[in-house]
Amino acid sequence: MPEIAIIGGTGIYNPDTFELIEKVFPDTPYGKPSDEILIGKIAGVEVAFLHRHGTTTPYPPSSVPYKANMYALKELGCHYVISACAVGSLQRKYAVGDLVLVDQFVDFTKKRDYTYFDDRIVHIAIPDPFCDYLNAVFAETAKKLSIKFHNGGTYVCIEGPRFSTRAESKMFRQFGDIIGMTVVPECQLARELGMCYCSIATITDYDAWKEETVDIDMVKKTMALCLDRVLRLLEAGLPKIKHDGCHECIKAAKDCGSLQ
């Protein structure tokens, strides 16, 4: 049973370094996950890989079956969840091509299914939503690999699928460092299930606050150029993750009663 899950796009799944063992497509109380879950090994470490947006059925950010995805990974035995994603920069010092180990988020989404606990009163404590342990592992690894990264950054999550207007982008700059569309509710669902969550974000653009127009071709092109850094970081960092490296998320979930 894999303890580590990786959620990402097609490029993050590298058949040259991923040793496939099996594919599973489980049913959950919340429907099917967005795609088959690929169980295999990267650098000798067993992982479960899930395409967030699907491969046969495309799921835009607002329609990703987040609850099914996270539940299925939990049922497979995953304790750590590593999300690879593309984001825009809201600050000059967060440059295109940099990686960010996210440590906070601000939620500007509007219509998503945010919790497993619609049928009872459960208050989730999530002041520090991302896993310090995983961030430390990848920060140390990035330094050794001489990969430019930011150890911390606030992710503003918007609904999508459209990008920001210039007015919105200028407003969002007051709240965060980077902007994307997928960390919510993925991150908080992981906390409800007692899983440690880490987001490795690749900056692909400057949103709309600079004098440029962001489009999907720009994002894809920059992500492709930066993909090697993310893959090297994962391949070198995964073997460093210990079985009992962190239990803070499990403890936090139990303390608020979300795992009862």
For tokens 């996270």, the residue is 70
Active site residue 128: no
pTM: 0.94
CATH classification code of 4-255: 3.40.50.1580
Q: Closest by alpha carbon to 61, among 11, 110, 10, 28?
A: 110
Rounded to the nearest 10°, the torsion over CA 27, 30, 34, 35 is -10
**What phi and psi values does residue 72 have, to the nearest 5 degrees?**
-65, -40
Q: Is 27 a catalytic residue?
A: no
Residue 115 burial (10 A CB sphere; 0-12, 13-18, 19+): middle
Catalytic residue among 132, 177, 207, 215: 207
- Annotated catalytic residue, options 205, 215, 217, 255: 205
Q: What is the full per-residue pLDDT of the chain (260 aa) written as tens digits? A: 899 999 997 678 888 889 999 999 999 999 999 999 999 999 999 999 999 999 988 999 999 999 999 999 999 999 999 999 999 999 999 999 999 999 999 999 999 999 999 888 888 889 999 999 999 999 999 999 999 999 999 999 999 999 999 999 999 999 999 999 999 999 999 999 999 999 999 999 999 998 777 878 888 888 888 889 999 999 999 999 998 888 888 777 777 778 76
